[in-house]
Structure 1
């Protein structure tokens, strides 16, 4: 086995905890109640996918699965009014 870094995105989940996404493996997602649990689950999920790839003759892991510098930004998007959730619904407790 060889250790290799993988970039993951951790985002707060609506229901609490964190959602994890691997940008270079978009089908590999997981979550966790805490940041550490989410990272632990991410490690387990990716290791499981890679083990399955070995058994099925999957493609080699690309060298770019780790982004040393990630830029995060926001973009203003014009959203049709029909798709905007009313403020009262968004603020209502679940």
Structure 2
């Protein structure tokens, strides 16, 4: 069963777009694309979360298994894209285990 999230009615769908688009542009102060910084931070955080036990990640907002699974997926996608050899075996989701 997939959980669908509803966007809050008072938040227009375009409000995040300018921020996200700005993150993919070249840095105003340095001769590097900002996205390189964002991708490196994402890779480091995904590795950190993927190394943790899912139960340690439980919060009232999100299941630790879901957060861990997302981290593994992001880590593996980045590893494939960047030519790293860290891709793990497929993980079954909590809904697939039932």
- Per the shorter chain, which TM-score range? under 0.3
TM-score, normalised relative to structure 2? 0.25
**Whose strand proportion is higher, 1 or 2?**
1
Tell me which structure has the larger Cα radius of gyration: 1
TM-score normalised per structure 1: 0.26
Give the number of the structure whose residues are more often helix, by fraction: 2
